[in-house]
Amino acid sequence: MRVSGFNFHFLVLAVLAVLSVAQAGEKTFNANGVSFNYPDGFTIYDDTNSDAQQLTLARQNSDIQIRLFVHKGRISADKFADAKKSFIDPYIAATMKQFVAMGAKPEQSADSSEIAGMKADGVKISASLGEPGAAKIYWALMGQRVVILTVFGPDREIKQFAPAWDIVRSSLKIEDKAAPKPSPKP
């Protein structure tokens, strides 16, 4: 199989772009029992309120966003379905409405991923706003806290920054402050 000069150069540039993102330095966010790693070049915007930690990671000159929502209340696994109705379903509906308000015709499909090694259910909301894009929303119960992790952006940037997404979702830790810490015995 023969590769044309243009295709070869494009392939080399694509590999170098992925490697540069993968090899870039990492930073660590750690506050209120939530920690994760993220690559250099991303800025964190903190919209935390009394109900939840809400963090958005974004890059200058890019449309990619990674959002993290961690509810501050504690729930048990048997109440997670109620939490999905209260927090997750309205978030998905609001995201769909946001795409419609921007002039898109979003389509929703089931999806799944992993957050910190745990299976996470999710949805993919696909839409075109001049170019194809998506919001991929995943949720899990971690340390008795509802976690929603979302990646937004044009498909090409979601693919380009997949290593950054992988760093965040795989390194996420939720400290369970409700669990008593063992005390040393005399």
Burial class (CB in 10 A: 0-12, 13-18, 19+), 153: buried
Q: Can you give the pLDDT at residue 129?
A: 85
Rounded CA separation 53/74 (Å): 13
CATH of the domain at 75: 3.40.1000.10
Global pTM? Answer: 0.80
Structural domain that includes position 58: 27-174
Q: Can you give the pLDDT at residue 155?
A: 96
Q: Is residue 161 part of a domain?
A: yes
Q: Can you give the pLDDT at residue 130?
A: 87
Residue with tokens 């005390």: 183
Q: Can you give the pLDDT at residue 24?
A: 54
Q: Is residue 7 part of a domain?
A: no
Q: What is the mean pLDDT of the chain?
A: 86
Average pLDDT estimate for 11-15: 46
Q: Can you give the pLDDT at residue 182?
A: 53
User: How many domains would you assign to the chain?
Assistant: 1
Q: Is residue 6 part of a domain?
A: no
